[in-house]
Structure 1
Amino acid sequence: MASLKSKTEKLGAAKIEGEDMVVGKSVPALYFGTKKMNNNYAVVDEVKNEVSSTATLFVKSGEDFVRVATNVQKDDGSRAIGTVLDPQGKAVAAIRSDKSYYGEANILGKPYVTGYEPIRDLSGKVIGIYYVGYAKTQ
């Protein structure tokens, strides 16, 4: 988590600016400083290369949190971009209660050991979620 957060913080403050298309869906555009994160995999891939974890940046879109930058893969090997964080999951419940979540989570049908922390804008409003995790070995 420290690696993901430090990389984004170096870019600047988190903010939402306009809308952007992510896999055919219009969602808020998540920025750190002047760098748009939607459909930008540089930061999440750097984290994967450094610490061998999966990493995702989610943006808050209505009541959902949508993956706008991720190295989590779907079964077909493509990035799970545009998919929504489980609205019934423990991670969402924690974030909605203004807390972080660390523990097991089911991601696209597979078990992971995870961490989720809120992304806040300068006013302190939650605008997204940082995620890092490791697939559990069976």
Structure 2
Amino acid sequence: MKSIVLRSFKKAHVIGMLVLAVGLLATPVLMPGDGNAQDARVAKSMAALKDQTTKLGTPKIDGNDAVGGRDAPALYFGSTKMNNNFSVVDAVAEEGGRGTAATLFVKSGDDYIRVATNVSTRIGSGRGLGTTLTGAPLASIKAGNAYYGKTPVLGTPYISGYEPIKDASGATIGVYFVGYTK
């Protein structure tokens, strides 16, 4: 009888310790901290950017267009050309609030070129059109994955999200970007 009671006590003790450990580990994840709030903002803005472009139609590349002083493939959603068209990125940035940025990149060879953006260059106040995706987000996109995290964008730190834009065949033809300045 003593051994049965002892085993029951040990089981209850182990279960209690596990519940306590899980509770302590889960607390930081469940509590809304700055990082989680920012991640939620990024997710909401990414959904808004994808929703806005989906309403326009299927993404495709058709021809070329001058963007930021360079020749780039023309990115379309349905019949709406996105190169040098700021209506969607500006609407998403406005909806996201202060410090929000949005960009559409088009694939050009091994590069991804900014064809629609509200991200400004550090030199002057112009939009960063014609600049290319670099760093960890580029490596992730080239591997066929999304990228979410902190990253510098044209010299400014952002909490950001990047997701591939795929055409009707499933090929990656561009990149969606949203982010918030820190």
Q: Common fold, TM-score beyond 0.5? A: yes
TM-score (norm: length of structure 2): 0.72
Higher relative contact order (CA 8 A, sep 6+): 1
Q: In structure 2, what is the equivalent of residue 7 of structure 1?
A: 52
SS of residue matched to 1:48: helix
CA distance in 1, matches of 2:154, 2:73: 22
CA distance in 2, matches of 1:23, 1:48: 20
| Paired residues, number | 134
Q: In structure 2, what is the equivalent of residue 72 of structure 1?
A: 119
> For 1:111, which of 157, 160, 171 is the aligned residue?
157
Q: In structure 1, what is the equivalent of residue 10 of structure 2?
A: none
Deviations 1:26-80 (A, max 9, x none): 1100000000000000000000111121000000011111000000011211101
- The offset of 1:23, in angstroms, is 2.1
RMSD: 0.7
Q: Identity rate of aligned residues, in percent?
A: 55
Structure number having the greater helix percentage: 2
Structure number having the greater strand percentage: 1
- The offset of 1:84, in angstroms, is 0.8
Q: In structure 2, what is the equivalent of residue 58 of structure 1?
A: 105
Q: In structure 1, what is the equivalent of residue 9 of structure 2?
A: none
Q: In structure 1, what is the equivalent of residue 167 of structure 2?
A: 121
TM-score (norm: length of structure 1): 0.95
- The offset of 1:101, in angstroms, is 0.3
Greater Rg over alpha carbons, structure: 2
